Amino acid sequence: MQYGHFDDAAREYVITTPFTPLPWINYLGSEDFFGIISNTGGGYTFYRDAKLQRIIRYRYNQPGGDVGGRFVYIKEKDKNAWSPSYLPCKTQLDEYKCRHGMGYTVFEGKKDGLSAVDTRTVPMGENCELWKIVITNDSAQTKELSLYGAVEWCLWNAVDDNSNFQRNLNIAEMEIGDSVIYHKTEYRERRDHYAYFAVNTKTDGYDTDRDTFLGRMNTWSTPLKVAHNESGNTLARGWFPIACHRIDMTLQPGESREMVFILGYGKNPRDAKFVAPGVIAKTDAERVIAKYADNAAFDTEMAKLRAHWDELLDIYTVESDKAEMNRMVNIWNQYQCMVTFCMSRSASYYESGMGRGMGFRDSCQDLLGFVHLIPSSARERIIDIASIQWESGATYHQYQPLTKRGNDEIGSGFNDDPLWLVACTAAYIRETGDSSILEAPVPFDNVEGSEVPLMEHLRRSVNFTIENRGPHGLPLIGRADWNDCLNLNCFSEEPGESFQTCANFESGIAESVFIGGMFVKYAPEYAELCERYGDPEEGARIRQAAKEMEQAIIEHGWDGEWFLRAYDAFGKKI
């Protein structure tokens, strides 16, 4: 079945049916504010960290499609409501199209003589997501309708939001302004940030209580208030908070109406959180709302975004006689490299963003394809990654992007990790020529006062492999290598216990041929840095170690026909 096609001129993938095998998602944002959005409108947004500062809710294992987070309804009187993204309403559309582009997504829907174009993006330099919605009456009759834009708030910590219900059902706090709803849960007690949902036009109603808006036993597909073209004008205290704006309109034949919704994040100094008792300081929100009061400001932001991607993608291009090759290399592979640099698999349709943070290995690998795009960001990321390394040369397997601290909630001790730091640093220097990074002071485990030059971190990375070898002279695998599930030292009889967090049986026997191959490749790259920048003796030592590792692989990692993958904790070949 054909689900869509590439539009190379526009740098878009055009999806022509909502019934894709799975939600096909795009990523919005490239700095601090991010969102994932599917071809039917599902997904969520967050500020820097998908676990600790999740802004809207999304339920991964729900049936019936990826309904969650953001919602748009168009409701004529005496007709069924519909959504240009198909979901959440599930009303059959006369026409449907979704266009995933470079940092934006567009939904185009038609129903009963009305057409709607809904464009979503995260503007550069701002902590918000914009929705520009244009509704046109294509019929010969006057149309009276209501437009609803809604979000369901997450109570910030995505894990706690999905588990601690006895607490969370009591803590939600909202504040209502002119065409804006503020989410200020926990702001009074211990947070210095808030979220808001605004629209740049006069509203005719609002809701902040989910159950009032949906109605008892209803879902987001069939909200009670939408069915009656009305709002509850509720102020939620506890339970399930939302933000919903209703705009009523009458459209003459051929007439269009457009507006911009703003889903944003604001922050205040802790000593300037309020302007009056119970009234939060709204400087960040008011500035952004004022900026997009004119619809033309949205078009300006889209032009900036397109120019940004024009500049990035012009850095490296290929020309071949294969359109598919040109498309992959010149557009989508580079776009994907930007996405993985920003999120490092910490948030996607498969990764909930609730536990792992950003991977050490993942982030190092991502740099290999990203460094040519924005070298300054690559340099900063290398230093962030190296800062969670331990003095032994080993490292946390993940770190939280909000705090930039190591995170071992899903385990550490993956013995391939240290060598990836060598790989990405060498790649950065080859691309930029910036060897000054080797002298940058970098702490161990983010401990102030422990700073040493980055070059020392690389030395300890390489030495970690040299000093942790097994009976065949191959690197010990630790908890696992690049294959996170190859947990050859991990044994558990406890149901539900992760093999990546259970007690690690350090046999001193389980070895990885893969890490050996990594060492043969990346140790000489470290040696070259040593030789080039004043330490030839260290370079010679490492080159000799690489030769010894290569010989160990040939003698003990090759069975005469195939390379082995590993030796397990009992010395058996894998």
Catalytic positions, written as ranges: 484
Residue 242 near residue 88 (C-beta atoms within 8 A): no
The three-state secondary structure class of 548 is helix
**CA–CA distances in Å: residue 170 to residues 155, 219, 239, 384:** 11, 22, 6, 37
Burial class (CB in 10 A: 0-12, 13-18, 19+), 44: buried
3-state helix, strand, coil in the chain (%, to 5): 30, 30, 45
* Residue 243 to residue 228: CA distance in whole angstroms: 18
DSSP state of 91: P
Give the DSSP per-residue string, 94-144.
Answer: SEEEEEEETTEEEEEEEETTEEEEEEEE--TT-SEEEEEEEEEE-SSS-EE
Residue 69 near residue 25 (C-beta atoms within 8 A): no
116 pairs with which residues across the strands? Answer: 109, 135
* Residue 438 to residue 425: CA distance in whole angstroms: 8
Residue 490 near residue 505 (C-beta atoms within 8 A): yes
Nearest Cα residue to 418 out of 336, 515, 351, 546: 515
The three-state secondary structure class of 521 is helix
* Residue 187 to residue 498: CA distance in whole angstroms: 35
* Residue 403 to residue 215: CA distance in whole angstroms: 40
Establish how many alpha carbons lie within 13 A of residue 295's alpha carbon, considering only the half-sphere containing its beta carbon. 10
- CA 259 to chain CA centroid, Å, is 27
Backbone angles phi, psi at 524, to 5 degrees: -65, -30
261-295 burial by CB neighbour count: b if 16+ within 10 A, else e?
Answer: bbbbbbebeeeebeeeeeebbbebbeebbebbeee
Residues 6+ apart with CB under 8 A from 39: 15, 18, 20, 23, 24, 25, 85, 98, 100, 105
In 360-451, which ranges are E strands?
A: 398-400, 405-407, 441-442
